[in-house]
Chains A and B, each alone.
Chain A
C-alpha cells in the first residue's frame, strides 16, 4: 500500500504518486486522515489532476460536468432575473485596481502580475484579475447615465487568480479557480437589498437542492465582510470531520462606496444627480470541494444524483455458460430505457475488467446508483439496483424500471441531505461563557454564541484562539435568530449581547 510512503501532511500542493490500476481503493480513511483522504479521493475519483504549479489543478470531465450542471441551473435563473452575461478582460491596469483603497488592501497581497511580454518588460506591470469590481466599474460609470439605464445587471463566467501562499487544497483553495461574478447597479438601496437576498436564495438552492449540503444563510461581521462593501451575506457550510466552517458563496451589497470611487452617477426622475447602489455576488468551483468533503466516504466520492454526470451505471455480471450476449443486450436496453426517460445512464461493457473491479471503480467515482444484470436477473426480467449512499440493494422488475429508478434517485438525493444535516446539526453547540467556547472549539464544534457585535472583540477572539489549528472567527450571523433573552452577555467580552452568531475555525 502507498501508506508506507511518507506523504506530505495536509495533502498540499505536491503531486501524489499515481496509483497503479490494481490499487483500487483509498489508502487513507476519512475519519483518521481527513486531509490525505481528501487529496486522494479527488484524484482517484478522477475529479482533479495535480499539476506542476502548486495551487493550480486540472479539472477533469468528471468535475467539470458537475460544474456545468450547476451552471445550467444558475445561468437560467439569473437570466429570468434579467441579468445578462458579458465578458470583461482578465487584465487589470494598476490604476483602476488601486482606486478603491479598502478593496485593494484586501486583494493586493494575492495579485499575480504580468511584467513581461516575450523578452521585453512592460512599461507598467499588469494585474490578473482577483475579482472584477475595479475592471468593470469604470464602464458602469460610462454606460449609466439616466435612471432608464438602471438597473444594470451583468454577470460573467470566468477564471480568477489569487496567488495565496497558505496551504493550497483542490477546489477549496486554489490559485486559479472558475466562478461566476454578478455585478449589478440600482437606483435605490431597496432594490439592491432585495436582489442580495434573491441571489443568496439561489446559492442556498445550489447547495441544498443540488449538492445536498445544508447551509446557513446569514450576514458576515464587519471584520469578515467583503473589502470595500457595505455588507456581505453568505451561505455557510460546515465540515464535521475537521470542525471547520466554510463560506459557500457570497452575495454582497456594495452600497455606494464603489459608485463614489468610480463616479457611477445617474440622473434620477427629478433630474437630480445621484449615485447608484451596487451589489456583487459569486460562487465558485469551491462548491465541488465542499460536496466531496461532506458526502465522500472510505470507498470514494459520493455524488448527489442532481449534479452527477452519470446517475446510473449499468454493469453486466456474466457467469460461465450464461447467456452473455443476452446480458449485454439487457444492459444496453436498460441504458436506452433510462436515457429516454431523461436519466443519465451508461453501461460499463469493458471486457478486460471483472464486475467486482467495476463496482469498486464506479464507487470510487461516486455514481449514485449501480444496476447489475446477471443470469438470474435476465431470467426474471429484473435488475438489481445498489445505492451508493447506503449500499442498499433492491431487485427491480424491468417493467417498472424508470419509475423505480427515478424514485431511488430522489431518495438518494434526499437521504444525502438528511444525513449531512443530521451530522452538521450534531456539531452545533450553543455556548455562553468563554470557557465553554474554548472547550467546544477544541471539540470541533460549530458554535452558536451570543455576541456584542464589536469588531475589537472579534479581533480579540482571534488573538486568544490563535494556535496551530488556526484562529476562530465569526462565520455568520444567521438570519434565523433564536430568541435572545434580555441580559444575555457576549461570550467573549461580557458586554450585553446583541445577536446570536456562528463561530468556529474555517477554511
Chain B
C-alpha cells in the first residue's frame, strides 16, 4: 500500500506532455521577434552572472526596437496556437520569465486573474466549512522517504536545500512539492477522537517541482495553488467531500471562468497512486488539447494507514481516518487564456477580467479635449461606483486606433468610446470584445448614469454567457462518439476528443496512449443511457470514457 502513495498533484496536475513542436516554435520566435527576446531569453538563464548580463543586454537592445514600433503584433491564434499563447502572455503583460530557468514572474494583470480565482474559491471553501492555515515550506527528507517507498518516482522533481546560513544542514530539506506528508504528520497529533472530525483545512501556498519542460502558467518550477486536506470518520463522508469539492471547481469553471469543463472520474491508470478515486475537471483548450484544470481525490485510508492517523470512534474503537485532498493552481489562468481568445489576442470573461470596461476618449482638436475628458471621467466614475472594474485610457501618447487594438489584445470585455459628437448628444459608443467589428458596436447609448450602468451590466452578463456558449459549442463540435479503436484513432488524429464505451484493460489503455498519444481524460459524470459495448473489446461496458491528447 505504502508503495503506491504517490502524492496527488505530482502526477495529476502536471502531465509531462509538452510537444517538441512548441519548443521548436518558441525558439523560432526568438529569432523572429527581437523585441520579445528579452523575456524569452531569460528562459535559458541558468543563473550565472554572465548570463544575467546577457539577458539585460539583449533586453536593452530590444528596447529600442520596441519603442520604435507602435503596433504590438501577435502571432494569429489560427496560425500557431502555441506562439499565440506566448505572445499574448508577453504582450498583454500577464507574466514574464523568471531569472531561474522554468520560473515565472506573474505580473499584475495576470495576478489579478489569480486573485479573482482566489476571491471566489476562498469564500466557497469557508462556506463549506474549511479553515485556512499555513504549513512550512520545508519538509525533512525523511518525511518524504517515509511517505512513499517509490520516492524515486518523483525525487527527480524535488528541490533540495542542503545549505542554510552558511552551514551544511544536518538533514537535507525538501522544498514542498505538495503538503500531504506534513499534513498527515500533524493530523496524527491533532486527531484523537471522533469529536475532532471532520478536520477540514486549506492552504494557499507556493509549491515547487523541478520540471524539465516548462510553459508559463501551465507548468512552472514554482507555482501558486490552494491545497485542501480533510479527514473524516467514514468513507461515505470522505467520498461526499471529494465530490463536493469537484463540484465547487466545476461551478467555478462554468460560472466564473466560462470554461465548460467536463467533470468525471479518472481511470485507474490516471488515478494517482495513493488515492482510491480521483475526480477531475477537464477543459478543452483552443487547440483542442485537454487541460486538467483541477482535481479532487478520495484518499481512502491509504495515507492514514501509512502515517497511523487514528481516532477513537463512538464505541471506543480505534479507527483510521478517511481523507481527501484537492487542488487548483495558477495553471487555471493558463486555461482561461487558452479557452477564450482569438487572432487579436485575449478575450476575458467579465467575471475574471481585471478590467471589465475600458473607456477611450477621442478628440482631434485641442478645444475638444477638455469636454471629452470630462465626460469620460464622469462615465468612469459612474461605472466604478456601480462596482465595475473600469480603466480610463486618457493618455495622449497613442491614437485611439492603437488603444482599441491594445485593449482588444488585453481581452477587456467592453470598450466605451467617447468623442466630441457623443459629448454633445450625451451618449457613448459601446463595443463588445467578443463580437468583432461593426456588429459588436452600438451607438448612442445614453450617458445618463442609471441607463448606462444597466446597459453595461447587461452587456457584461451577455458576454459572460456568450463566451460560455461559444466554448460549449466548440467543445461539443470537437467531441466524437466512437465505437471502435479505428474510429478513436481517426478522431484523435484529427485533433478531436473521442468518447466511447470502455471496459478494457489497463494495458489496452496504455497501448492507446503509446499509439495515439491520447489518454483517458475521465469517465464523465454525465453518461449516455443504454447498453454499451467496449470500443476496444466489444464486451459490455458500463461507462463511456473520453480520450484526448493533453497538456
Contacts and interface: CB of A to CB of B under 8 A. Distances in A.
Contact of A154 (B67, B108, B156): B108
A283 interface: no
Contact of B99 (A18, A89, A158): A89
B133 interface: yes
A68 B96 CA distance: 28
A350 B159 CA distance: 44
A163 B156 contact: no
B71 to A, nearest CB: 17
Interface stretch (A133-141, A224-232, A362-370): A133-141
Interface stretch (A29-37, A46-54, A248-256, A480-488): A46-54
A90 B206 contact: yes
A459 interface: no
A229 to B, nearest CB: 22
Given A111-B165, A176-B137, A61 B47 contact: no
Contacts of B401: none
Interface residues of A, number: 68
Interface in A66-102: 68, 84-96, 98
A112 B165 contact: yes
Given A95-B51, A113-B161, A88 B98 contact: yes
Contacts of B222: 89-91
A159 B160 CA distance: 17
Contacts of B133: 58-61, 63-64
Given A58-B133, A91-B98, A124-B47, A148 B397 contact: yes
Interface in B114-149: 114-115, 131-138, 140, 143
A68 B132 contact: yes
B201 A61 contact: yes
Contacts of B192: 21
A35 to B, nearest CB: 22
Given A49-B189, A86-B111, A148-B395, A114 B175 contact: yes
A123 interface: yes
B168 to A, nearest CB: 10
Given A58-B135, A87-B105, A117-B156, A135 B161 contact: no
Nearest to B98: A89
B138 A176 contact: yes
A116 B164 contact: no
Main secondary structure of the interface of B (DSSP, over half): mixed
Nearest to A350: B195
Interface centre among A56, A87, A90, A148 (most CB of B within 10 A): A87
A142 B192 CA distance: 55
Nearest to B158: A118
Given A93-B52, A93-B100, A148-B395, A164 B165 contact: yes
A433 interface: no
A115 B158 CA distance: 11
A273 to B, nearest CB: 12
Contact of B160 (A60, A65, A91, A115): A115
B47 A95 contact: yes
Contact of B63 (A51, A60, A68, A145): A145
Contacts of B132: 61, 64-65, 68
A88 B104 CA distance: 7
Given A111-B165, A117-B159, A176-B137, A89 B49 contact: no
B38 interface: yes
Interface string A165-179: 100000000011010
A494 interface: no
Contacts of A178: 134
Contacts of A93: 45-48, 52, 99-100
B17 interface: no
A89 B103 contact: yes
A65 B134 CA distance: 11
A461 B157 CA distance: 50
Interface in B152-173: 155-166, 172-173
Nearest to B205: A159
A352 interface: yes
B210 interface: yes
B240 interface: no
Contacts of B134: 58-59, 64, 178
A132 to B, nearest CB: 10
Contacts of A61: 131-133, 201
B106 interface: yes
A330 interface: no
Given A53-B136, A53-B140, A91-B103, A114 B397 contact: no
Contact of A128 (B104, B155, B175): B175
B186 interface: yes
A182 to B, nearest CB: 13
A263 B47 contact: no
B197 to A, nearest CB: 13
Interface in B92-112: 96, 98-100, 103-108, 111-112
A382 B162 CA distance: 62
A270 B189 CA distance: 66
B56 interface: yes
Given A61-B132, A159-B206, A117 B160 contact: yes
Contacts of A115: 160-163
B77 interface: no
Nearest to B99: A93
Interface centre among A57, A85, A164 (most CB of B within 10 A): A85
Given A60-B133, A109-B166, A135-B99, A94 B49 contact: yes
Nearest to A126: B100
B47 A84 contact: no
A112 B161 contact: yes
B472 interface: no
A176 B108 CA distance: 25
A46 to B, nearest CB: 9
A121 to B, nearest CB: 9
B221 interface: yes
B423 interface: no
A362 to B, nearest CB: 16
A110 interface: yes
A64 B96 CA distance: 31
Contacts of A56: 136-138
B105 A88 contact: yes
A114 B160 contact: yes
B208 interface: yes
B99 A96 contact: yes
Contacts of A321: none
A470 interface: no
B136 A163 contact: no
A164 B156 CA distance: 28
Contacts of A95: 47-52, 99
A126 B47 contact: yes
A57 B143 CA distance: 16
Contact of A84 (B108, B160, B162, B190): B108
Given A64-B133, A65-B132, A128-B175, A116 B162 contact: yes
B54 to A, nearest CB: 11
A125 to B, nearest CB: 7
Given A86-B108, A87-B224, A91-B221, A139 B96 contact: yes
24 contacts: A52-B143, A56-B137, A57-B136, A58-B134, A58-B182, A59-B135, A61-B131, A87-B224, A88-B98, A89-B103, A92-B99, A93-B46, A93-B47, A93-B99, A93-B100, A112-B161, A112-B173, A116-B160, A117-B159, A117-B160, A118-B158, A120-B156, A148-B395, A161-B137
Task: Return the 8 tightest CB-CB contacts between A and B, nearest first.
Answer: A93-B47, A61-B131, A163-B164, A118-B156, A84-B108, A95-B49, A163-B165, A117-B210
Given A86-B105, A113-B164, 8 more contacts: A64-B134, A84-B111, A89-B103, A89-B105, A91-B103, A114-B160, A114-B162, A117-B156
Interface of A: 18, 21, 49, 51-53, 56-61, 63-65, 68, 84-96, 98, 108-120, 123-126, 128, 135, 138-139, 141-142, 145, 148, 154, 158-159, 161, 163-165, 175-176, 178, 263, 350, 352
